[in-house]
C-alpha cells in the first residue's frame, strides 16, 4: 500500500513555516493556526499582543497570563537562570528598542546609547509570580525571538502526534523537528547560501536548530542580530551554528544556538554536555568544529568541506 504525505508552506512570524506529514489538510491548517496564534500573542511588533502589553507595563505593573500563555515565559526564565544570562529574554531593549531589528528604522547605536540600554537587560529583573509577569525596570522589553520558532515547532510536533501522525517534518525558519521517516535535512553554507552538509535523520524524533550571521543584519554581517547581552554588540566567533538533540526539544535548541553563538570555542564542550546536545559550529575562517556529535541518533551525516 502506498504511503502519502501532505505538505503546507506559509509565511508566519516573518519566516517560512513548512510541514510535511501523513495527516489531513484540516490538521495541517490547525498547525498553521498554532503558529499564527503564537505570533498574535507573543509578537513584539504587534501593539495588542500579550508580549507588547508586558513590555508597555514594565516598571509600572504586572500582567496576568493564562497557564498556557505563561509556559514560554517560564521556559525563557529557566534557560536564563541555567545559562547565567548567556540567554536572556530581556534582550528586547537592545534588539527591538535600540538596534531596531524587525522595525522600519534599524540603526547602529553609539557608545552612550549602548551603555544606557545595557542596564535594561537583566533576566533577574523579570519576575513571574503565580500567573503574573512583571519587568521591574521601566523601559525593559522581552524578546522571545531566540526561542519562539523552536517553541512553535515543538507545539506543532505535539499536535501532529496527538492527531496520530506516524511521520512528519516540521520547519519553522531554522528550527526543525522530524520523526517516523528518514528525512534528508540540509545544513546551509553560511558563505555561499548553498548546502555544506546533509543530515539523514533516523525514524526517531530529532530536533535541529541553525542560526547564522547571514539571517538578519544592519548594513553588513558585522552587525548581525544575535547580540551578546554583556557587550550589547554582535560577536564573531562563528558564522553559523547548528544544534542537534534527540527528541522533540526545538525550544531549548533555539535558545542554545544563541548561547553558542556568543561563546568562545573553549566553552563548547561544557555547553554541549550541560544541555545534552551536539554542536556544529562554522567559524568566519571556514573552520568546522564538532562537539558531542557521536551521541546523536541519526542515520548518517555527509559533509562537504570548504575548498582551500
The CATH number of the domain holding residue 212 is 3.10.520.10
Cell of residue 223, nine digits: 552587525
* Of residues 193, 184, 229, the one with CA closest to residue 213: 193
* Of residues 155, 172, 187, the one with CA closest to residue 278: 187
**In terms of domains, do 181 and 223 share one?**
yes
Domain end marker among 87, 120, 145? 145
**In terms of domains, do 266 and 176 share one?**
yes
Rounded to a whole number of angstroms, the distance between the first and last alpha carbons of the chain is: 48
Is the CB of residue 275 less than 8 Å from the CB of residue 267? no
Q: Collect all residues with Cβ–Cβ distance below 8 Å to 261 and sequence separation of at least 6.
A: 211, 226, 235, 237, 238, 241
Cell of residue 169, nine digits: 517534518
Query: How many Cβ atoms are within 10 Å of 264's Cβ, its own excluded?
Result: 9
pLDDT value for 224:
94
pLDDT, tens digit (0-9, with 9 covering 90-100), for 122-174: 999 999 999 999 999 999 999 999 999 999 999 999 999 999 999 999 999 98
Q: Is residue 45 one of the residues assigned to a domain?
A: no
pLDDT, tens digit (0-9, with 9 covering 90-100), for 279-305: 999 999 999 999 987 789 999 988 887
pLDDT confidence band for 306 (50 / 70 / 90): confident
pLDDT value for 293:
79
**In terms of domains, do 19 and 167 share one?**
yes
**In terms of domains, do 23 and 54 share one?**
no
pLDDT value for 4:
65
Cell of residue 73, nine digits: 515565559
Alpha helices (H) in 18-92, listed in sequence order: 25-42, 50-56, 67-82, 92
Give the predicted TM-score (pTM) of the model: 0.94
Q: Average pLDDT in the 245-267 region?
A: 95
Over the chain, what is the mean pLDDT? 93
Cell of residue 249, nine digits: 526539544
Is the CB of residue 29 less than 8 Å from the CB of residue 36? no
Q: Is residue 153 one of the residues assigned to a domain?
A: no
Say how many domains are in the chain: 2
Q: Is residue 217 one of the residues assigned to a domain?
A: yes
**In terms of domains, do 164 and 242 share one?**
yes
Q: Average pLDDT in the 267-272 region?
A: 96
* Interatomic CA distance for residues 304 and 306, integer angstroms: 7
Is the CB of residue 120 less than 8 Å from the CB of residue 141? yes
pLDDT value for 1:
32
**In terms of domains, do 20 and 168 share one?**
yes
> What CATH code is carried by the domain that includes residue 62?
1.10.3980.10
Q: Is residue 21 one of the residues assigned to a domain?
A: yes
pLDDT value for 175:
95
**In terms of domains, do 299 and 202 share one?**
yes
Is the CB of residue 153 less than 8 Å from the CB of residue 175? yes
pLDDT value for 5:
83
**In terms of domains, do 177 and 276 share one?**
yes
pLDDT, tens digit (0-9, with 9 covering 90-100), for 23-37: 999 999 999 999 999
**In terms of domains, do 179 and 295 share one?**
yes
**In terms of domains, do 58 and 182 share one?**
no
pLDDT value for 305:
76
**Domain with 76 in it:** 50-145
* 57 three-class SS: coil
Q: Is residue 168 one of the residues assigned to a domain?
A: yes
Q: Average pLDDT in the 258-274 region?
A: 95
pLDDT, tens digit (0-9, with 9 covering 90-100), for 210-249: 999 998 999 999 999 999 988 899 999 999 999 999 999 9
Q: Is the pLDDT of residue 3 over 70?
A: no
Domain end marker among 91, 121, 145? 145
Three-state secondary structure readout of 208-257? EEEEECCCCEECEEEEECCECCCCCCECCCCCEEEEEEECCCHHHHHHHH
Q: Is the pLDDT of residue 94 over 90?
A: yes
Q: Is the pLDDT of residue 207 over 70?
A: yes
**In terms of domains, do 103 and 66 share one?**
yes
* CA count, 13 A, side-chain hemisphere, 196: 21
Alpha helices (H) in 57-141, listed in sequence order: 67-82, 92, 111-118
Q: Is residue 154 one of the residues assigned to a domain?
A: no
Amino acid at each position: 500500500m502506498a504511503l502519502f504525505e501532505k505538505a503546507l508552506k506559509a509565511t508566519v512570524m516573518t519566516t517560512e513555516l513548512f510541514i510535511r506529514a501523513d495527516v489531513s489538510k484540516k490538521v495541517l491548517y490547525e498547525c498553521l493556526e498554532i503558529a499564527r496564534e503564537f505570533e498574535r500573542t507573543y509578537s513584539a511588533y504587534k501593539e495588542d499582543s500579550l508580549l507588547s502589553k508586558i513590555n508597555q507595563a514594565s516598571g509600572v505593573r504586572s500582567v496576568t497570563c493564562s497557564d498556557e500563555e505563561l509556559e514560554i515565559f517560564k521556559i525563557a526564565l529557566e534557560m536564563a537562570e541555567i545559562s547565567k544570562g548567556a540567554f536572556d529574554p530581556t534582550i528586547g531593549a537592545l534588539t527591538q528598542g535600540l538596534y531596531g531589528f524587525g522595525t522600519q528604522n534599524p540603526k547602529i547605536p553609539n557608545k552612550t546609547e549602548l551603555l544606557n540600554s545595557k542596564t535594561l537587560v537583566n533576566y533577574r529583573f523579570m519576575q513571574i509570580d503565580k500567573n503574573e509577569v512583571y519587568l521591574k525596570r521601566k523601559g525593559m522589553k522581552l524578546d522571545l525571538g531566540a526561542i519562539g520558532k523552536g517553541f512553535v515547532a515543538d507545539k506543532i510536533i505535539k499536535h501532529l502526534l496527538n492527531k496520530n501522525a506516524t511521520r512528519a517534518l516540521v520547519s519553522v525558519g531554522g528550527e526543525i523537528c522530524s520523526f517516523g521517516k528518514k528525512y534528508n535535512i540540509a545544513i546551509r553554507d553560511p558563505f555561499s547560501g548553498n548546502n555544506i552538509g546533509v543530515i539523514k535523520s533516523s525514524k526517531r524524533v530529532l530536533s535541529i536548530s541553525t542560526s547564522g550571521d547571514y539571517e538578519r543584519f544592519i548594513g553588513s554581517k558585522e552587525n548581525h542580530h544575535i547580540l551578546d547581552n554583556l557587550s550589547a554588540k554582535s560577536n564573531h566567533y562563528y558564522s553559523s551554528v547548528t544544534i542537534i538533540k534527540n527528541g522533540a526539544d526545538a525550544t531549548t535548541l533555539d535558545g542554545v544556538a544563541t548561547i553558542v553563538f556568543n561563546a568562545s570555542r573553549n566553552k563548547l564542550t561544557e555547553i554541549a554536555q550541560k544541555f545534552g546536545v551536539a554542536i556544529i559550529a562554522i567559524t568566519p575562517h571556514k573552520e568546522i568544529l564538532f562537539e558531542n556529535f557521536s551521541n546523536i541518533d541519526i542515520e548518517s551525516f555527509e559533509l562537504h568541506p570548504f575548498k582551500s
